[in-house]
Chains A and B, each alone.
Chain A
Amino acid sequence: MPRLEPGSGKIKWYRSDGAVAVYSALISILIGMAVGAVIVVVVGLLKSNISTTGIWEGVRLVFLGVFSTGRSGSQLSFGFNAVNMGNMLFRAVPLIMTGLSVAVAFKTGLFNIGAAGQYLMGTMGTLSVGLWLGWAGVPTFIAWICAFLAGVILGGLWGAIPGLFKAFLNINEVITCIMTNWIAANLVTWWFDSHEMFKNSAEGGKIGYVIPLKNVGVVTPKMFMDVLFKGSQANGGFWIAVIIAIAMWIMMTKTTFGYELRACGANRHAAKYAGINDKKNIILSMAIAGCLAAAGASLYYLSGNTEFYWSTYQKLPAEGFNGIPVALLAANHPIGVIFSGIFMSMLNISGIQLKYLTAYNEYISDIIIAVIVYLSAFSMLFKTVLSKKIKKGTGGNVNDEPTPAQVAATPAEQNAQEEKEIIQNTNDFEEDILEDYKQLFDQNAEIAEAESEEGGQK
């Protein structure tokens, strides 16, 4: 029977597309970490000052850094480390948020490489408004809300700029995002440079930093995180990030707005054909992406004791770019972003352990992250190979399909025909099916092609 009843066509959960995405992410992670470990080993063998034990310690920290509890005697010790765990969740917050930012834009077919600039704008808005209102004596709760919103709105406006360029001039968002990043870096530096009051002149050697928000008491409540992870920096910001991620998931999958956004991403032309305002959606999507990235900065600095080095015009914040691997690893799924964000944060913690406990340094985790991004570039391939492997044996390829040649036949003829079709399934052939099969490999190509047809810009 060619047409499966709804439900009977379902595949088991461990064979679903979502599961395949998870497998392919895990493969990327494993390869990435393996590359990191190999570099540790090779460098260790080449350097005379690193012993075999040193190499072994390095490799173990690459994989298990977050469980490190320092050294007992000359041996590395491992176990539950509340401070590391808490700091991992704390540092995961901006990563989750920038990851969400990149993921939401991706779903609309946009590559938001401008999260760094949006993050900086969020930093500027939150710190300035937080300090102002703190000094003005506004109740801390209201000051917190205002500071948070100020950052988010500023980031949203900043994110909308590449969206405007894309929607109205069809200029590729990648290049405009990069330009707006550097403009933001200069703007933020200019802002703090010309406002002496924000500079932390009270503490010696801290003049290059903005006064932390804890000085005015505008900080995120801990929300039991201090109980769970004693001594760490973790606070309620993590829960807020989780709630935002769930909200994004609902928005993207359950609402007509999400339906429109994803339609624009999957096929801008078809969306336009269906009467969806593609320009509006592109701008909105980038604005939302900007809000999310900026919210990451807001939550990070609203923790109170984080300090911002304001002379940033030559350096963009790494959080902005690390949102890309977070999103890619999660296959742009908002809930997945929570986990991949925590994972990336864990790599950072491992890096720090490497730096303090061995002769290696923290950049090894950046290498691992870069390798993961590189691998996710062809995760499509992983997924195709995996789904073929996994879906074999579920009783027929889902792509196999009966021929429509006999549509005009009567029901009785049809039944007989259908039986034959099943036998002939491999022989009955339509070049269209063949084409569709190939398209599985070339989703990206198609979008790009449509874009270049538009006479598009880079």
Chain B
Amino acid sequence: MVFLIQQTMLYAVPLMIVALAGVCAERSGVINLALEGIMIFGAFMGVVFVRMFQNAGWTQDQGQLIMIISLFLTGICGIAFSMLLAFSAINLRADQTIGGTALNMLAPAIVMFFIYMIIQQNTMGMASGGAAGWFMIKPQTFGYEKGHSWGPIIDLFINKVYLTTYICIIIFVLVSIFLYKTKTGLRLRSCGENPQAADSLGINVHKMRYLGVGLSGFLAGVGGFTFSMTTANMTSNGDVAGYGFLALAVMIFGNWTPLNIAFGSMLFGLFKCIAATYATLDINGDGVYMLNELGISPYVYRMFPYFITLVVLAFTSKSSRVPKAEGIPYDKGQR
């Protein structure tokens, strides 16, 4: 059970961070289809930073510190990359869907180009060691022996987890407070609903949208790093397995509100987790791998999250609340 929850969190955390990234952009009125691309770029830059620290002589004992610094730097890179979208969507009033698609094509191209130029391979990992060894919180982190257990409850929180889970919770709280309790949040949301009104009240719509896309870029970059660390052993190969798009679906499923998104990403995390681990999943601990014995093709499990998304969309389409001005370029002249 502990294993299942922890595994689910591994998949749910990046989804949730990236879905929240989507909320920041879309609430300001910009469709961020480029989440996937920013994640890909973030995952790559994350690996680059980690390698940099490793090459600079930092050691495994400083793993958590390396991770936090790299995570932050990756977020900055995410902002830089997302500015390409912001520029075309906000300044040039271009079609946001096409702009996002361009970034989704650009990210893997650039990443693959540079990975080849750097190491002449198609996958780049850490300079040495693995993600679990360097970044996972485990008994050794606290000076205990390997294999130490604090009992299921405490294990759940601090044994074999990544710090990113807690960072994700902090992000969730911060984004919620920002959107609903602060002046800037109120203004940002108004730009996604009725930019003409916001403008007439002296709110700088372009600035707010840049802020929204920038936040979105930061979080998506962080999400890409998290994805790479927790599910891909800190490697980058120009692909995040459609996670950015899945995050978009989670965002829609969560009706653009942080709380629903948290719930939605847990659900999708669970499906993802089942798809990845069904063969070795022992749900009630009796040594029987139930899902495996059902004899259903693994591809069915893999299809499941996407399939569920379609079904959920079909059922929630009527009640959903899209930010009204989303996807519509704002032209000052057009009051």
Contact, CB under 8 Å: B325 / A361: no
Which residues from A are CB-within-8-Å of B277?
Answer: none
Contact, CB under 8 Å: B92 / A186: no
A299 within 8 A of B: no
Question: Which listed residue, A181, A190, A438, A458, touches B297 by the CB 8 Å rule?
Answer: A190
Which residues from B are CB-within-8-Å of A251?
Answer: none
Nearest opposing residue in chain B for A178, CB measure:
B245
Q: How far is the CA of A174 from the CA of B310 in the complex (A)?
A: 12
Of B157-165, B283-291, B327-335, the one touching chain A = B327-335
Contact, CB under 8 Å: A314 / B241: yes
B43-56 vs A, CB cutoff 8 Å, 1 = contact: the mask equals 00000000000000
8 Å CB contacts to A: which residues of B288-307? 297, 299-300, 302-303, 306-307
CB distance from B78 to the nearest CB of A (A): 17
Of B105-113, B141-149, B212-220, the one touching chain A = B105-113
Question: Which listed residue, A194, A441, A458, touches B322 by the CB 8 Å rule?
Answer: A458
CB distance from A425 to the nearest CB of B (A): 22
Contact, CB under 8 Å: A373 / B101: yes
Of the four ranges (under 10, 10 to 19, 20 to 34, 35 or more), the interface on chain A belongs to: 35 or more
CB distance from B310 to the nearest CB of A (A): 5
CB distance from B244 to the nearest CB of A (A): 10
CB distance from B173 to the nearest CB of A (A): 25
Q: Is the interface of B mostly helix, strand, loop or mixed?
A: helix
Q: Is the interface of A mostly helix, strand, loop or mixed?
A: helix
8 Å CB contacts to B: which residues of A320-351? 321, 324-325, 328
Contact, CB under 8 Å: A369 / B306: no
Nearest opposing residue in chain A for B314, CB measure:
A169
A449 within 8 A of B: yes
8 Å CB contacts to A: which residues of B237-265? 239, 241-242, 245, 248-249, 252
8 Å CB contacts to A: which residues of B57-106? 84, 88, 92-95, 97-99, 101-103, 105-106
Contact, CB under 8 Å: B327 / A452: yes
Which residues from A are CB-within-8-Å of B93?
Answer: 378, 381, 441-442, 445
Q: Which residues of B contact A (CB under 8 A)?
A: 31, 33, 84, 88, 92-95, 97-99, 101-103, 105-106, 108-110, 112-113, 116-117, 239, 241-242, 245, 248-249, 252, 297, 299-300, 302-303, 306-307, 309-310, 313-314, 317-318, 320, 322, 324-329, 331, 333-334
Q: Could you write out 20 A-B pairs with CB less than 8 Å apart?
A: A39-B113, A111-B97, A111-B98, A174-B33, A174-B97, A178-B249, A182-B306, A190-B300, A315-B239, A321-B101, A363-B110, A366-B109, A373-B98, A377-B88, A381-B93, A381-B94, A438-B331, A457-B313, A457-B322, A458-B322
Given contacts A366-B105, A367-B106, 7 further A-B contacts (CB under 8 A): A111-B98, A169-B317, A175-B249, A190-B300, A328-B98, A370-B105, A377-B94
